[in-house]
Amino acid sequence: MFWTWFILLLATLPCLWLADLASDALASHSLVLFVSGAAIVAPCRRLKRWQAVLFATGVGFLFEARRPIPAGTLAFLLAGMSIFLTSNRLLLRNTPLVLRGALICNTLACTAWFTSAALRSGSWVANEPGHFLQQLLLQVSFAALLALVVFIPLALIQDATMDRAGIPPALDSP
């Protein structure tokens, strides 16, 4: 079905918003709970490539929409990742591998948005590389942790949606 990717995006939205609400609670600690990277992994196991790419781009733009990040950075990065994942589905053939994939994707995407936001935010980043690295490490470790915690419920919701939409199950599923 053509609109599967969009339906999946709608199904994923509440999870992304929940992450935003959790970020809200942690706002005074300057942390954003980032799950967008992990959110593209499960669909990449089953969706067609073009659908997965559209889905990933949508997820990326949703994150960027309310944040001062150079436009398109995260969206195109996630699109690239989704191309890679859909071309190498063997890398996601069982649960531990999928978890690993979610972790890597979330960490990479988090590094990307954080760095691009830093570059956008002004020249003093260059003057205080230590501070930048410290904050990056903090943010990325949270992203990694969150990928592991949130992935299973997220994947369950996404898989259920794809089952409903009649997408065939992943070939190498354990």
Partner 1 sequence: MKAPDETEALPSSPIAKTRLYLVFTMFAVGFIYVALGLVFRQLWQSGDLKAQYETQSRRVVLRPPSRGVVYDRNGYVLVENRIRWTIKADLLALQPEIHRRYLWLIKSERARGAPVEHEKLQEKARVDVLQGWLDRVWYVIDEAQHGRPAVAGKPRSVQPTDEPERRVNPDELKKHLRERRALPYTLVTDLAFPGTTRALKPEQGQRTIARFIDQFPVNGPISLESDIVRSYPQGTLAAHVLGYVKDTEDLPEKVNELADLPLDNLQKLHYTGKTGATGIEQTYDRILCGSSGWELWTKTSSGYNKELIASKPAQQGSNVTLSLDRDIQCAAERALAQIKDTKGELLPAAAVMLDVNTGEILAMASQPTFDPNKLSDRVTRVYYAEIEERKGWMNRAIQGLYPPGSTFKLITAIAGMRNQVIDWDDILDCGPSYRVGGREFPEHDPAGYGQVNLEKMLAVSCNVWNYMVGLRVGPERLAKEARRFGLDTPLLTHVPDADNSSQFELPSPSSRTLVIPDAAYKKRIGAGAWTDGDTANTSIGQGYILTTPLHMACVAASIARGETRTTPAIIHDPGRDGRHVGAEPIGLTEPQLTALRGGMELCVSEGTARSVRIPELPFAAKTGTSEYFKNGEKAHLAWIVGYAPADNPVVAFCVLVEGQLDTSTWGGKTAGPVARDMITTWSRKADAPQGVEPASDCQRK
Partner 2 sequence: MDKNRQGATASYVVLVVCVVLWMVLPAAVHRFTQEAFAEFQAPALHLAGKGRDLARYWELKSRDKEEILAASRDLARANAALELQLRRYDDVRKENLRLREMLRYNPPGDFLTVVARVAVRDSTTWWQRIVIRKGSDDGVRAGCPVIFSDRVVGKVAVAHHTTSEVDLITSPSFRCTAFLEGDEANRIVLVTGSPGRGLAAGRAKVSAIPQDYFHPVGSAPKVVTTGLGGIYPAGLVLGNLDGAERTSQDGNFKEAGLSPTRDLFSLQEVTVLVPKYPSAGELLLEDQARKRLDELR
Phi, psi dihedral angles at 89 (to 5 degrees): -70, -20
Q: Which of 30, 123 has the CB closer to partner 1? A: 123
Residue 115: what residue type? T
Q: Which of 1, 10, 25, 126 binds partner 1 (CB under 8 A)?
A: 126
| Least distance between partner 1 and beta carbon 123 (Å) | 8
Q: What share of the chain is helix, strand, coil (3-state, %, to 5)?
A: 80, 0, 20
Q: Is 131 in the site for partner 1 (CB under 8 A)?
A: no
| Least distance between partner 1 and beta carbon 15 (Å) | 32
- 166 sits in the region (left: phi over 0; alpha: psi -120 to 50; else beta) called left
| Least distance between partner 1 and beta carbon 26 (Å) | 25
Residues that bind partner 2 (CB under 8 A): 13, 17, 20-21, 23-24, 27-32, 49, 53, 61-62, 64-68, 71-72, 76, 79-80, 83, 86-90, 114, 117-118, 120-122, 124, 131-132, 134-135, 138-139
| Least distance between partner 2 and beta carbon 96 (Å) | 19
Closest CA relative to residue 102, chosen from 34, 13, 170: 34
- Residue 14 CA to residue 8 CA, distance in Å, equals 11
Q: Which two tokens stand for residue 5?
A: 């990717």
